[in-house]
Structure 1
Amino acid sequence: MLIRKPDAIQSSEITPERVWRARRDLILGAGVAAAGLGLPGWAGRAWAANAPVGEPAVLPGQASPLSVMDKQTSLSDITSYNNYYEFGLDKSDPAAHAGKLQTRPWTVSVEGEVGKPRTFDIEELLKLAPMEERVYRLRCVEGWSMVIPWVGYSLSALLKQVEPTANAKYVEFVTVVQRDNMPGVRAGVLDWPYVEGLRIDEAMHPLAMLVFGLYGKVLPNQNGAPLRLAVPWKYGFKSAKSLVKIRLVEKQPVSSWIKAAPQEYGFYANVNPAVPHPRWSQASERRIGEDGLFSPKRKTLPFNGYADQVAALYQGMDLKANY
Structure 2
Amino acid sequence: MKKSILTLLVAVFPFWGFSQDVTIAKRFINSLSAEQKATIVQDFNADTRDDFHFLPWSSFERQGLPLKELSTNQKALVHQLLQSSLSASGYQQTTEIIALEKVLAASSGDPVYRDPERYYVSIYGNPAQDDVWMWTFAGHHISLHFTTVADSVSYTPRFFGSNPGRISEGERKGFSPLVNEEDLGLQLINMLNKEQRKKAIFNEKAYNDIVSYNKPTAEKLAPEGILVGNLTNPQKKLLMDLIYEYASTIPAEQAMNRMSSIRNEEMDELLFAWAGATTLGKAHYYRIQGKTFLIEFDNSQNNANHIHSVWRDFDGDFGRDLLKEHYANHKHSH
Structure-1-length-normalised TM-score: 0.30
Q: TM-score, normalised by structure 2?
A: 0.30
Please identify which structure carries the higher helix content. Answer: 2
Name the larger-Rg structure.
Answer: 2
